[in-house]
């Protein structure tokens, strides 16, 4: 199993100011300071023996402040010498596929033989789609066409494309990528069950950003590989991101970890408007999110604190504990999904740098090495 670090720089301190629209005041913590923490964590990950660094695309709120993960990972590639990099995810409907193909090609060249895992997704948050002027009801078509263009741009010297959303005259993408198997490392993350066959039939690999129980994901991996088998393709292992906090004692892990994971869950609620089911009910293809939002809104209406209501949706997917406890949980997750690449997100909420670094060091010393020895067959 490969073991990587997930970078999710978020400014949880700033949600109150953001929600109040207090634009005439400065953030309590500067966004630049959050980025300094992320870069330091990536460099520590390489020194500690982890295999890769991943990041994810989000815009416009304090949730996760990575408007272009390819840009951030290009810097990380230059600041490190050994680790692979990956996106979890880049949202295709927000990019022109030709521009994205050029950015991917440049990063692939600069990696100089290291691997780029390109995770792709359709996107969810109303705030982001509205600001970009993209209709959420078109995401499936946009995703399918952008994926086709991206593949052609990275594998063919010259190509053209004429679709419903993109019309591209005969063109070349330059520079050409260094790797001849770049598109073999494309993955897709999904939140709705309807997207699973899209990913499987497109020949992508599964990428899980936890929204369901691990048991549900185990069923989905089997369904995914059954679809691949119908095409005559071999089964593939899953890549999974896990929000994790590792501490020397159970008391510290429980007390501190619960605070940070509650803050992270709350930021998910605030960014996606997950306590407002009407945001999702008006758009086809987001029924799973509508159900989740309706449940959260009902819990809040019944008197549950909004932060606790948000935490209820992540309780079974994060990992908090001592190194031994974290190893037991992660080994079980890995075996249940046939994981080939585990991504540990180790700083979130208001977690200070010293706690993140301690968690990473404990993880890298006691947890990652046994996981890296696991050889798990795809389900």
Cβ count near 114 (within 10 Å):
17
Cβ–Cβ < 8 Å for 311, 264:
no
Whether this prediction's pTM lies above 0.75 is answered by: yes
Cβ–Cβ < 8 Å for 40, 75:
no
Beta-sheet strands, E only, within 16-153 = 52-55, 84-91, 116-121
Phi, psi of 198 (to 5 degrees): -60, -50
Cβ count near 235 (within 10 Å):
15
Beta pairing partners, 244: 319
Measured on CA atoms in the order 247, 251, 253, 255, is the torsion positive or negative? negative
What tokens does 204 get? 């992508």
Stretches in the chain below the pLDDT threshold 50: none
Q: Of 175, 136, 167, 134, whose CA–CA distance to 149 is shortest?
A: 167
Cβ–Cβ < 8 Å for 75, 111:
no
- Secondary structure of residue 118 in the 3-state scheme: strand
Cis-peptide into 175, omega within 30 deg: yes
What tokens does 148 get? 């086709």
Q: Of 359, 342, 196, whose CA–CA distance to 332 is shortest?
A: 342
pLDDT of residue 194: 78
Question: Please, what are the domains in the chain?
Answer: 2-141+185-372 (3.20.20.30)
Nearest 5°: the CA angle 328, 332, 337 is: 150
pLDDT of residue 203: 95
pLDDT of residue 205: 96
Q: Of 264, 271, 266, whose CA–CA distance to 245 is shortest?
A: 264
pLDDT of residue 195: 84
Cβ–Cβ < 8 Å for 263, 246:
no
pLDDT of residue 315: 66
124-163 burial: b if 16+ Cβ within 10 Å, else e: bbbbbbeeeebebebbeebbbbbbbbbbbbbbeeebebee
pLDDT of residue 191: 77
What tokens does 188 get? 């897709």
Cβ–Cβ < 8 Å for 307, 12:
no
């Amino acid at each position: 199993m490969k073991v990587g670090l997930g970078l999710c720089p978020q400014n949880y301190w700033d949600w109150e100011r953001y929600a109040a629209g207090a634009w005439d005041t400065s953030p309590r913590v500067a966004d630049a300071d959050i980025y300094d923490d992320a870069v330091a964590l990536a460099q520590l990950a390489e020194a500690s023996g982890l295999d890769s660094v991943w990041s994810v695309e989000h815009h416009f709120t304090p949730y996760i402040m990575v408007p272009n993960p390819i840009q951030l990972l290009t810097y990380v590639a230059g600041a490190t010498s050994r680790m692979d990099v990956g996106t979890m995810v880049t949202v295709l409907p927000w990019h022109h596929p030709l521009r994205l193909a050029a950015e991917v090609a440049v990063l692939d060249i600069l990696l100089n033989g290291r691997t780029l895992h390109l995770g792709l997704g359709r996107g969810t948050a109303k705030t982001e789609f509205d600001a970009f002027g993209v209709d959420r009801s078109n995401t499936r078509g946009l995703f399918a066409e952008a994926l086709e263009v991206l593949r052609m741009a990275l594998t063919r010297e010259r190509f053209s494309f004429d679709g419903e959303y993109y019309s591209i005259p005969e063109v070349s993408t330059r520079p050409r990528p260094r790797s001849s198997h770049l598109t073999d490392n494309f993955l897709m993350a999904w939140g709705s069950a309807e997207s699973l066959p899209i990913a499987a039939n497109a020949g992508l690999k599964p990428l899980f950003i936890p929204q369901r129980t691990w048991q549900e994901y185990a069923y989905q991996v089997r369904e995914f590989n059954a679809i691949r088998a119908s095409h005559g393709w071999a089964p593939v292992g899953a890549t999974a991101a896990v929000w994790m906090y590792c501490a020397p004692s159970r008391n510290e892990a429980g007390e501190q970890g619960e605070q940070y994971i509650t803050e992270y869950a709350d930021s998910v609620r605030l960014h996606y408007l997950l306590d407002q089911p009407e945001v999702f009910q008006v758009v086809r293809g987001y029924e799973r999110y509508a159900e989740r939002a309706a449940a959260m809104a009902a819990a809040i209406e019944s008197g549950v604190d909004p932060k606790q209501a948000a935490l209820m949706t992540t309780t079974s997917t994060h990992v908090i504990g001592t190194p031994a406890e974290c190893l037991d949980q992660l080994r079980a997750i890995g075996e249940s999904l046939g994981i080939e690449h585990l991504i540990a997100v180790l700083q979130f909420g208001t977690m200070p740098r010293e706690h993140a670094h301690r968690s990473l060091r404990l993880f890298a010393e006691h947890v990652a090495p046994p996981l890296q020895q696991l050889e798990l067959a795809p389900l």
